[in-house]
Amino acid sequence: MTALLALLSAVFVGGADFVGGVTSRRANGIRVAAFVSAAGLPLALAVAIVYPAEEVTSTDLFWSALAGAFVAVGIGAFYLAMGRGLISIVAPSPR
């Protein structure tokens, strides 16, 4: 099960990065990042409902919000850069 979940995660994250990069060529990278964040929110909420934490403190909420803000800025910069420059795939050589 672990290998299957890892494979699915890699496919979805890789696919999202590719589609986001291609989409950021046609639309503003910040808008693409906002859409990506909005699309991920329902899934995050569903996971939070299915696997509830025992106790969530205000410190947990603070660090979660701060991390979310930094991720949003990072993803926005990532998609802006992909919209302006070359999109390439880097992979290790089989040698």
Encode the chain in three state secondary structure: CHHHHHHHHHHHHHHHHHHHHHHHHHCCHHHHHHHHHHHHHHHHHHHHHHCCCCCCCHHHHHHHHHHHHHHHHHHHHHHHHHHHCCCCCCCCCCC
Residue 74 has pLDDT above 60, yes or no: yes
Report the predicted TM-score, pTM, of the whole model to 2 decimal places: 0.62
What pLDDT does residue 95 have?
A: 61
Question: Encoding tokens for residue 15?
Answer: 């696919």
What pLDDT does residue 62 have?
A: 93
HSE value, Cβ hemisphere, 13 Å, CA-based, for 9:
6
